[in-house]
Amino acid sequence: MDHTYRLRKNLDTIINKIEKARIAYSRHQVIQLVAVSKYATIQEIEALYACGQRAFGENKVQDFKAKSQVLDELPLQWHMLGTLQTNKINTLLALKPTLVHSLDSLELARALEARCARENITLNALLQINASYEPTKSGLPPQEAQETYLTIRKECPHIELKGVMSIGANTPEIKQIEASFEKTKNIFDTLKTQGAEILSMGMSGDFEIAIAYGANMVRIGSALFES
């Protein structure tokens, strides 16, 4: 009971902050919360489900597999957030993710396309952009993002690109975080005519800034599960 109360309290706090930021940006904006469950127990995911949360995200394919199989009875939407290695593609596709956030290169797109074509399945994905140019982050440099997006749409009929994802600049400097989100938002805007609907930006430390720059999907872990 204890962790159900804690999680409900955390979820309510975050939803209130999302709502405040959403209204400040636009009353017409709809924002989806993905609970990043990489450090969460099965019991915590079940408790959040009982509070109404449906979308959960994992960073590693093996954790995604383990948790989604145990929780198979619940109608959860599973998101793949972390870097995807090509040797894990078959395992991931078998799990039928709702959305893959980490499509970070044309090479990966082609590898996914080949497997999807063979299985005759369609994969929903976001193109990951490294808008802060940080060497520790995956993703395409902003200047290559638009062309790569269009190439994937043309070459990979089994990949349904739904938009873009980026991680905010890893710095206490708010101006730099804002600049990385703004860069991603500008790319997203140019891709709307190409079917881009989802702008996945913002995590526990910066989701309110991300919403101010148009994010309509946020990925929150530590703020949800903290004691």
At 88-125, the pLDDT tens digits run 999 999 999 999 999 999 999 999 999 999 999 999 99
What mean pLDDT do residues 206-223 have?
A: 97
Quick check: 1 pLDDT over 60? no
- Residue 25 burial (C-beta neighbours within 10 Å; 0-12, 13-18, 19+): middle
What mean pLDDT do residues 122-139 have?
A: 94
Do residues 59 and 82 touch, judged by C-beta distance below 8 A? yes
- Provide the CA 55 distance to its chain's centre, in angstroms: 10
Query: How many secondary structure helices (H) and strands (E) does the chain include?
Result: 9, 8
Quick check: 85 pLDDT over 60? yes
Q: How high is the pLDDT of residue 4? A: 85
| Structural domains present in the chain | 2-225 (3.20.20.10)
pTM above 0.85, yes or no: yes
